[in-house]
Amino acid sequence: MLTPKQYKLLMFINKTIKETGCCPSFDEMKNALGLKSKSGIHALIDALVERNFLRKMPHKARALEVLRLPKLKPSSIIAEEKLKEEALLGATVEIPLYGKIAAGTPIEAIANETDKINIPFNMIHGGEFYALKIEGDSMIEAGIMDGDTVIIKRCNIARNGDIAVALVDDSEATLKKIKRDGNDILLIPYNKDYETRRLPAQRVKIQGILSSLIRTYH
Amino acid sequence: MLTPKQYKLLMFINKTIKETGCCPSFDEMKNALGLKSKSGIHALIDALVERNFLRKMPHKARALEVLRLPKLKPSSIIAEEKLKEEALLGATVEIPLYGKIAAGTPIEAIANETDKINIPFNMIHGGEFYALKIEGDSMIEAGIMDGDTVIIKRCNIARNGDIAVALVDDSEATLKKIKRDGNDILLIPYNKDYETRRLPAQRVKIQGILSSLIRTYH
DNA sequence: CCATCAAAGAACTAAATTAGAACATTGTAT
DNA sequence: ATACAATGTTCTAATTTAGTTCTTTGATGG
């Protein structure tokens, strides 16, 4: 069994290597554990080497290798993670607000906007999300009104019946119900005054599907 | 495992071989890393050979072979973890979810429910708020659909035209557009299939006005 | 009050990076 | 074979970055 510090350090080293491909330096590890001196890191690493969790090349820089990970977590770590999970439920995430949709401008073209909005974390998990402001009333019968903010989950495919962001001819983005019909794709508005558009599949790129909607009054 | 430079070089070598089919020369590597001398490349390659990421044939030109690459976590997982980290920084406010509205039950009667939802702090300021789940389609033309969650700002009066929670005869709560007409109050639905109700003002108590709306798909 | 231990801090040593230049090897063209 | 071009190798040296070691500090629990 590892001490909480040893566990944390081992996890940090493993995470760093998996994410960056590089081993962290003693200074980086020191900062990750919130220590002010590298000497403590040295002792922890020795302990992890002795317990066969790490291998090191002595006197080489950034030359650690994770041999294995512990099966058991120190109980204090478990408690800490539980706290974090709970905190997450009350947290928000900032996602980019790319601009207006159904105005004829492709999302890519306005992706450099810096607007951000905050939404509760539990509304968006398992994917990458962005927000758009609705312009126009082509989806009004689906309860999507002019001025609403929609949260879009980024993805490349939509299932039949999904409401999705479709980019037509790389130049025009709209939010519509998507249906496949043979080699064509139907862009179906939710408004009797608008007509369904039928386009060859290769002219349409799905940019994401509707995940949630936020409206503010007054 | 690797230093940042070693990693960068390894990735460049791997990418070049994959893309062009042949190994880059020392000069090309030097330029790729922005160096002015080849000697550094030599040292990096020695380190990569020592760590078993590369094999080389000495004195042969463009004769490197990538033995393995550090296995990275899928970037989607990294992105989600980063999101979680960021989420912990953003705060939300917890407000009570009192239950469903337009179902004939007064809000007071179900106010003991313990459901809570989190919404971004910036969506609610200056007042006391609570949430309700919409049941029915009487407000569908205002884009308020069955199943939507509405955020209500608690107050006792509504201005003409406000969408508000109205409690009728202390027993039935509905969300409707409010209009005063002399001593009567009109409860106006947003649905042609429903009729406006005219009630004497003393039978109607305003419980709050519509502040925002949240809808989740799927 | 003392023993113990984790952590801090400083001093020291070693490695990594960079540059510049000279030199060696290979393969090809003459 | 000779010369040449392209490429890889080695060396020195300076600078930056990183790892190691040792001493001191401060808190904790008998």
On whether the CB atoms of residues A129 and A121 are closer than 8 A, the answer is: no
The separation, in Å, between residue A80 CA and nucleotide C2 C1' comes to 34
CB atoms within 10 A of CB A132: 25
- The model's pLDDT over A103-130, given as tens digits with 9 standing for 90+, comes to 555 455 455 556 777 788 777 777 888 8
Q: B61 with B158, same domain?
A: no
Catalytic residue numbers of B, as ranges: 138, 176
CATH number of the domain encompassing residue B195: 2.10.109.10
pLDDT of B24 above 90: yes
**B186: which 2 tokens?**
């009109």
- B62 and B114 part of one domain: no
| pLDDT band at residue A209 using 50, 70 and 90 as cut-offs | very high
Mean pLDDT of B27-56: 94
Pairing relationship of beta strands B129-134 and B92-101 according to DSSP bridges:
parallel
Question: Are the C-beta atoms of residues A132 and A194 closer than 8 Å to each other?
Answer: no
Say whether B213 and A217 touch across the interface (CB within 8 A). yes
**Can you tell me the distance from the alpha carbon of A171 to that of A207, in angstroms, rounded to the nearest whole number?**
12
Q: Which residue has the higher pLDDT, B2 or B173?
A: B2
Residues of A designated catalytic: 138, 176
B195 and B103, same structural domain? yes
* Chain D nucleotides reached by a protein CB under 7 Å: 6-12, 17-23
Question: Which protein residues have a C-beta closer than 7 A to any atom of strand C?
Answer: A 5, 35-40, 43, 59-63; B 3-6, 33, 35-40, 43-44, 47, 59-61
pLDDT at residue B109 tops 50: no
A4-20 and A39-50 helices cross at what angle (nearest 10)?
90
Q: Higher model confidence: residue B2 or residue A90? A: B2
Q: Which residues of B touch A88 (CB under 8 A)?
A: 84, 87-88
For A198, the token pair is 């039928």
CB contact under 8 A, B119 and A118: no
Distances (CA, A) of B102 to A51, B133, B171, B176, B207: 64, 9, 11, 9, 13
Which of A88, A118, A138 is at the close of a domain? A88
**Whole-model pTM?**
0.68
pLDDT of residue B107: 54
Closest-approach nucleotide to residue B8, Cα vs C1': C17
Among A46, A63, A88, the domain-final residue is: A88
Compute the distance between CA of residue A134 and CA of residue A99 in angstroms, rounded to an integer. 9
CB distance A178 to A142 below 8 Å: no
What pLDDT was estimated at residue A109? Answer: 46
- More confidently predicted of B76 and A61: A61
- Looking at the fold, whether A107 and A63 belong to one and the same domain comes out as no
Is the CB of A4 inside 8 Å of chain B's CB atoms? Answer: no
Strand residue runs (E) in A26-87:
54-56, 64-66
| Position B16 pLDDT exceeds 90 | yes
Q: Do residues A152 and A201 share a domain? A: yes
Lowest mean pLDDT among A93-97, A129-133, B148-152, B209-213: A93-97
Do A112 and A139 sit in the same domain of this protein? yes
Together in a domain, B8 and B112: no
Q: How far apart are CA A162 and CA B99, in angstroms?
A: 28
pLDDT of residue B2 exceeding 60: yes
Tens-place pLDDT, residues A38-91: 999 999 999 999 999 999 998 999 999 999 999 988 888 888 888 888 877 777
Which of A88, A109, A138 terminates a domain? The answer is A88
Residue B173: the pLDDT is 84
User: Nearest-CA distance from B129 to chain A in Å?
Assistant: 13
Q: Would B73 be classed as within a structural domain? A: no
One domain for residues A104 and A142? yes
CB A162 within 8 A of CB A209: yes
Contact flag B1-A93 (C-beta cutoff 8 Å): no
- How far is the C-alpha of B11 from the C-alpha of A6, rounded, in Å? 31
Q: Looking at this protein, which amino acid is placed at residue B3? A: T
| A43 shares its domain with A98 | no
What is the domain count for chain A?
2
- Tokens representing residue B184 in the block: 């009567």
Which of B3, B84, B92 lies nearest to residue A90, judging by beta carbons? B92
Say what percent of chain A tops pLDDT 70: 94
- Pick among B12, B13, B15, B83 to test the A interface (most A CBs inside 10 A): B83
Q: Which domain holds residue B58?
A: 4-66
Q: State phi, psi for B20 to the nearest 5 degrees.
A: -105, -15
For residue A17, which phi and psi values (nearest 5 degrees)?
-65, -40
Q: What number of residues does chain B have? A: 218
Q: How far is B215 from chain A (nearest CA, A)?
A: 5
Residue of A nearest to B79 (CA): A128
How does the average pLDDT of chain A come out, rounded?
Answer: 87
User: DSSP for B42-94?
Assistant: HHHHHHHHHTTSEEE-TT-TT-EEE---PPPPPHHHHHHHHHHHHHTTSBEEE
What is the three-class DSSP state of B75? helix
Q: Which helix (H) or strand (E) holds B30?
A: helix B26-32
Does A158 have pLDDT greater than 80?
yes
Nearest to A92 among B87, B148, B216 (CB): B87
Interface of B with A in 66-105 (CB under 8 A): 69-73, 76, 78-80, 83-84, 86-92, 94
pLDDT given at position A58: 87
Which residue's CA shows the smallest distance to C1' of C9? A37
**DSSP 8-state secondary structure symbol assigned to residue B172:** E
CB-side neighbour CA atoms (13 Å) of B132 = 30
Q: What percent of chain B has pLDDT over 70?
A: 90
Among B61, B21, B18, B55, CA closest to B38: B61
B191 and B96, same structural domain?
yes
Answer yes or no: do B150 and B194 share one domain.
Answer: yes
Nearest to B178 by CA among B191, B195, B156, B161: B161
- Can you give the pLDDT at residue A77? 86
Answer for the pair B5, B33: CB distance below 8 angstroms, yes or no.
Answer: yes
**pLDDT at residue B114, rounded to an integer:** 59
Which residues in chain A are contacts of B77 at CB distance < 8 A? none
B161 shares contact with chain A (CB less than 8 Å): no
Q: To which H or E segment does residue B80 belong?
A: helix B75-87
Please determine, for residue A17, whether its predicted confidence score (pLDDT) is greater than 80. Answer: yes
Region A89-101 average pLDDT: 75
Domain shared by B210 and B102, yes or no? yes
Is 80 exceeded by the pLDDT of residue B204? Answer: yes
pLDDT of residue B88: 75
Q: What is the CATH number of the domain that holds B52?
A: 1.10.10.10
